[in-house]
Amino acid sequence: MKIWCEEHIAVIAAILLVTNGIAFAMMGIDKRRARQRQWRIPERTLLLSAACFGGVGGMLGMYLFRHKTKHLRFTILVPLFAAVQIGLIAALLL
């Protein structure tokens, strides 16, 4: 029995692209603001964006921008969020 039709998969893909894009952009914006000594995005918000299906984008942003890579909380949680999210998506689609 097929649970997911092509429209469902397209919607899920669009949501994932948006949430991961937001998480990625937030890492870049916060890194730029850190360099300019401006107001920063709270760490809780960065982690929340990664937890809300933005784990892959958050992880890519972390390492591409070299941002928060020395913070133990980020180096553990963001890849964990990404792995769990990939596993959930794989389980749903297979």
Per-residue pLDDT of 11-65, as tens digits, reads 988 999 999 999 999 999 999 999 999 999 999 999 999 999 999 999 999 999 9
pLDDT (0 to 100) of residue 45: 97
Residue 8 pLDDT grade (very low, low, confident, very high; cuts 50, 70, 90): confident
pLDDT (0 to 100) of residue 78: 97
What is the tally of structural domains in the chain?
1
- CA 49 to CA 23: how far, in whole Å? 5
Domain annotation covers residue 50: yes
* Structural domain range at position 50: 6-93
pLDDT (0 to 100) of residue 2: 61
Exposed/middle/buried for residue 22 (C-beta within 10 Å: 0-12, 13-18, 19+): middle
The token duo for 76 is 């553990």
Domain annotation covers residue 1: no
